Homo-oligomer: A and B are copies of this chain.
Amino acid sequence: MTARAVAAQLGVRPSALYHHLPDMATLLDQMATAMRRDLVLQPVTGWRELLLETGRVLRRALLAHRDGGRLFAGRRLPDPSLLTAMEEPLRSLVEAGFSLEQAVTALQAVLDLTIGFVIEEQHRASGESGEYDPELRRLLSCGAIPADGGRQRAPVRAARSAFRERVGSCGRRCRDSPALSLAVRGGRDPGAALSINSIDTCFHRSTHPQHPSAVGEAARAKSQPGGRVAA
């Protein structure tokens, strides 16, 4: 989504946009606002379903547009009606026992979690996330120190100096990761383990009798077997 592409879609020269908007950021904010305005939650019962439905609906909206996650992340949504629209879910959460502050926190957490998840999901789905060249990956993966133990190559130095990385932290041996390879069900690209389609199952498992909230539920199932669930 570039300004020039938007202009072309409108049959207009790029410079014409700047008679309506001060800059590109405002245009992106408007796109994000439009997406957010169109979110409609299915009727749900219980605070847990409310939070999950919020995540599901946002995720669906973000996935509907190319790079929707990256586009939506961190944008300003200068539309008071969006606040009005939050009244109802907030009230539901308060009725379920949340303080108002907790309700805002919980909703914001679901939105942030969804955004972070979808960014990764879409990046994975895009062509850009194709497999690394195996040899390049081997070179990059081993602590960024070449086999001869000599000086680092230029671009790796670039990445490192840009982040003021200490030299002492690299050079670790690469070895197998039994637990994770199990989790990723065997033999996939190790880098893909960090992209495992995990939270996705939470958002999708709507037929599951218990709808786990992303962070807490996994542990609660075992550590609090007697815990009652509100609503």
Chain A residues at the B interface, C-beta cutoff of 8 Å: 1, 6-7, 9-10, 12, 16-17, 20-22, 25-27, 30-31, 33-35, 37-38, 47-48, 51, 65, 69-70, 73-84, 86-87, 90-91, 93-94, 96-106, 108-117, 119-120, 122-124, 128-129, 132-133, 136-137, 140-144, 153-163, 165-166, 169-170, 172-183, 189-191, 193-196, 198-199, 201-202, 213-224, 226-231
Contacts and interface: CB of A to CB of B under 8 A. Distances in A.
Contact of A140 (B79, B94, B172, B231): B79
Question: What's the number of copies of this chain in the assembled complex?
Answer: 2
A21 B155 contact: yes
A125 to B, nearest CB: 10
9 contacts: A22-B133, A27-B158, A74-B120, A81-B173, A90-B183, A94-B179, A104-B196, A108-B194, A220-B227
Given A74-B69, A119-B73, A172-B84, A6 B158 contact: yes
B155 A215 contact: no
A108 B198 contact: yes
Nearest to A65: B163
Given A30-B140, A79-B141, A105-B199, 15 more contacts: A65-B162, A78-B141, A78-B191, A83-B181, A86-B179, A93-B219, A98-B222, A104-B180, A108-B199, A109-B113, A109-B117, A109-B215, A111-B116, A112-B116, A112-B120
